[in-house]
Chains A and B, each alone.
Chain A
């Protein structure tokens, strides 16, 4: 009996575990916080849902009207007694504090410890300006002078390289419509909105090549607004940045005003 009960309780866990493969690999410092909470939520709601279905199924199976008891009356209970009301209130509040409460507390923690806790300008922090447009991502590094919006900025299109194990702060603007800078492997996203500067920070824990998506419908080619994210070891990144700096310098055209979309980082 007890074994059966344990098996029934563990079944949703097992089912969930086999389905975990659906989620893209997490290569971020803080993505596990969202994943953990997702799994906690899944276990909680699966249990609640199974209880609900069990009651419904039980009622339908065992409390069906039988043809011969048409004349026999059932219950005339309106569920208005004090004990009934207290029972309903007790269950609802238990679920609220037991499930919603845990989610709230954990989310507050994650937000203040990680997602909204922006890194201070430490030496190894990488800062990138992003200008979203229909349909692609423009990236800008501050270049050798560490100042954005200057002639020595490093600019790339649809290609963002970052070092592993260093915080990356991204500031976003949009040229035309609303886009959303989405990193599936980092479990986060941030809208890029015309007229606004928004920001996002993340940190990679693995090297490799990943994808940047646009999550906000931005027109006909929304589905093709895909950028590439290259996570490199620090020395590989420094090497790449040197090359990219030279490349940007070669292509710099002072008369091309549209290409000079960078802005002062603090503004």
Chain B
């Protein structure tokens, strides 16, 4: 593969001294990473609270939301109205996808991990990196502003299908600002993507071939490629929708109320060409992280490392040609329907391959059940469930019944909520010492894990069951239907499980802030692993990351190398003792 780069920029830039350049308008990838993570965690709290409101409504229809209900739903004595409910599920999805997962996993860990793990001093375009964060900030400010518009926030669902999302279905500036906000969030994401792709291509340390990169970097890199390819398609959809709403064009308008019609289905094509890769965009960083962590904490090389990287790449390619399965009930032509069904099924092959590699990595390892390892195992468990339940929805004859029911909600939450957030927490617990130079408390971490893992399965498997019962999504009050009345107790069970999970989040918040303030000082390599961020820099790393850019000699998971005697791990740039003389040449 590639070796030393002639163009490699390893000049050391002086650390900025002013507060503004150091902490606010910083071009340091480590500071920008933290900015993204703070932003993402704040929105995670908002989006999570909205989820609790949705669950409250489904368990205690017509009762005021406890504690903060009267302040938020002041016009209805604390009770969630049908209009408020539609805004809640719309904004819950939007916030979680674009303003919680994207900033934490991609903006945060993408920024933090890529340069450190490939042995670079920063991103290749540090200023673009800064603009990427501030564009995300502007985008989130617009989203927050949309809540205070006269007719309320957006309410057409996170998928925002026209014609409901045009002025015909959702008049008011809330929905328009939503479109603008998503457009800017997309801009931020593409800026980041361009930066990540280029950084990985040109700034890898000497010796760091593509197949010596940690799988975390592979996951983040593939995510960036998908983002650069498909977010612009979403942006195109958003521009057309904006024109329909504000200028009065008819790109997506049709029906009896419009004279000259456009095509609402065109939007669904644009949306899902982006939307299906998007679910992989969200989970790929998690897959990458887990592929590394399972090896690190099994004290064993990642089984079939290269095959895992290639299988994840294959998923990326396939993700572009399966989106039609979101449109099976639109009256898609039978030929297209069957084609998309077959292509969707193909994804299960590469997915099985890296799942098998994960299991093989665990087997006969010497497993250390640290907090990041627990969350990684949790991800494998819930993604297994989420992936397998995808089979029902890829199959048209079962999808006809399950489409737009809670089965879909349970399925995609297992994959892109449960799995992604367990992956995000694994990442936080794992890299927190490197990021902040402090260790997190592992007892609180384990409590957080069990309070997340058990209820999260109850919640989303409960949803699968309710969907199996036939209940549609996005119903303000399912008991309107006789058919679903027997599901009321299951809905209550789901809600109470969700409340327990939310309570478990308190352990994380305490742990996070307590460790920041009073955590034990982290050594440079607390997990005893061989990737560059742990072996060649301090915790936290200095401004320019590495005093000397390391020369990479080994893959990221060289555990139990026969030439080692004193420790079971081998640094990626460590010269092997027995072969020292030979390798130094």
Please indicate which of the listed interface residues A41, A99, A100, A219 has the most CB atoms of chain B within 10 Å of its own CB: A100
User: Which residues on the A side are within 8 Å of B397 (C-beta)?
Assistant: 33-34, 37, 106-107, 110-111, 115
User: Which candidate, B2-10, B156-164, B185-193, is the interface stretch facing chain A?
Assistant: B156-164
Please give the distance in Å from B55's CB to the nearest CB on chain A: 16
Please give the distance in Å from B526's CB to the nearest CB on chain A: 15
Whether B164 pairs with A224 at a CB distance below 8 angstroms is no
Chain B residue at minimum C-beta to C-beta distance from A216: B404
Query: Known contacts being A64-B366, A190-B331, is A75 close to B560, with CB within 8 Å?
Result: yes
Whether A195 pairs with B263 at a CB distance below 8 angstroms is yes
Query: Known contacts being A73-B560, A176-B168, A217-B474, is A191 close to B257, with CB within 8 Å?
Result: no
CA of A99 to CA of B349, assembled, Å = 11
Pull 14 A–B residue pairs with CB atoms less than 8 Å apart, ordered by A.
Answer: A38-B398, A41-B395, A59-B365, A73-B564, A78-B304, A96-B345, A107-B341, A111-B337, A177-B169, A180-B403, A188-B401, A191-B331, A194-B254, A211-B483
Whether A56 pairs with B377 at a CB distance below 8 angstroms is yes
Say which residue of B256, B366, B380, B475 sits within 8 Å of A194 (CB atoms).
Answer: B256
Chain B residue at minimum C-beta to C-beta distance from A87: B356
Please give the distance in Å from B267's CB to the nearest CB on chain A: 10
Say which residue of A33, A52, A111 sits within 8 Å of B355 (CB atoms).
Answer: A52
Chain B residue at minimum C-beta to C-beta distance from A94: B352
Chain B residue at minimum C-beta to C-beta distance from A133: B256
Whether A96 pairs with B255 at a CB distance below 8 angstroms is no
CA of A111 to CA of B336, assembled, Å = 13
Whether B392 pairs with A41 at a CB distance below 8 angstroms is yes
User: Which candidate, A17-25, A143-151, A154-162, A239-247, is the interface stretch facing chain B?
Assistant: A17-25
Say which residue of B300, B341, B482 sits within 8 Å of A104 (CB atoms).
Answer: B341
Whether A63 pairs with B362 at a CB distance below 8 angstroms is yes
Whether B169 pairs with A219 at a CB distance below 8 angstroms is yes
Q: Does A80 contact B (CB under 8 A)?
A: yes
Please give the distance in Å from A40's CB to the nearest CB on chain B: 10
User: Which residues on the A side are within 8 Å of B385 (C-beta)?
Assistant: 49
Q: Mark A104-147, 1 if CB is under 8 A from B, else 0.
A: 10111011000110000000000000010010000000000000
Whether A76 pairs with B363 at a CB distance below 8 angstroms is no
Number of residues on chain A facing chain B (CB within 8 A): 93
User: Which residues on the B side are within 8 Å of A166 (C-beta)?
Assistant: none
Please give the distance in Å from B446's CB to the nearest CB on chain A: 14
Query: Known contacts being A49-B385, A99-B391, is A217 close to B359, with CB within 8 Å?
Result: no
Whether A219 pairs with B164 at a CB distance below 8 angstroms is yes
Q: Mark A47-70, 1 if CB is under 8 A from B, else 0.
A: 011001101101110011100010
Say which residue of A77, A93, A220, A224 sits within 8 Å of B349 (CB atoms).
Answer: A93
CA of A204 to CA of B365, assembled, Å = 57
Q: Chain B interface (Cβ within 8 Å of chain A)?
A: 82-83, 86, 155-157, 161, 163-164, 168-170, 253-258, 261-265, 298-307, 329-331, 334, 337-338, 341-342, 345, 348-349, 352-353, 355-357, 359-369, 377, 380-381, 384-385, 388-389, 391-392, 394-398, 400-401, 403-405, 465-466, 468-470, 472-478, 480-483, 486-487, 490, 557-562, 564, 568
Please give the distance in Å from A121's CB to the nearest CB on chain B: 20
Q: Does A234 contact B (CB under 8 A)?
A: no
CA of A96 to CA of B355, assembled, Å = 14
Beyond A78-B302, A190-B331, list 16 extra A-B contacts (CB 8 Å): A21-B486, A31-B401, A55-B362, A56-B362, A59-B362, A69-B366, A88-B357, A88-B360, A104-B341, A104-B395, A107-B341, A176-B168, A176-B256, A178-B163, A187-B401, A217-B474
Whether A221 pairs with B82 at a CB distance below 8 angstroms is yes
CA of A37 to CA of B305, assembled, Å = 36
Whether A193 pairs with B331 at a CB distance below 8 angstroms is yes
Say which residue of A24, A106, A191 sits within 8 Å of B470 (CB atoms).
Answer: A24
User: Which residues on the B side are within 8 Å of A108 (C-beta)?
Assistant: 338
Please indicate which of the listed interface residues A104, A217, A222 has the most CB atoms of chain B within 10 Å of its own CB: A217
Q: Mark A72-103, 1 if CB is under 8 A from B, else 0.
A: 01111111100011001101110110011001
Whether A103 pairs with B304 at a CB distance below 8 angstroms is no
CA of A74 to CA of B298, assembled, Å = 9
CA of A76 to CA of B300, assembled, Å = 6
Please give the distance in Å from A206's CB to the nearest CB on chain B: 14
The 8 lowest CB-CB distance pairs between A and B, nearest first, are A195-B254, A194-B255, A79-B303, A198-B331, A184-B470, A45-B388, A65-B366, A59-B362
Whether B400 pairs with A115 at a CB distance below 8 angstroms is yes
Please give the distance in Å from B293's CB to the nearest CB on chain A: 14
Q: Does A237 contact B (CB under 8 A)?
A: no
Chain A residue at minimum C-beta to C-beta distance from B342: A104
Whether B257 pairs with A49 at a CB distance below 8 angstroms is no
User: Which residues on the B side are within 8 Å of A41 (C-beta)?
Assistant: 391-392, 395, 398
User: Which residues on the A side are within 8 Å of B361 (C-beta)?
Assistant: 79
Whether A223 pairs with B480 at a CB distance below 8 angstroms is yes
Q: Does A174 contact B (CB under 8 A)?
A: yes
User: Which residues on the A side are within 8 Å of B477 (C-beta)?
Assistant: 223
Q: Does A226 contact B (CB under 8 A)?
A: yes
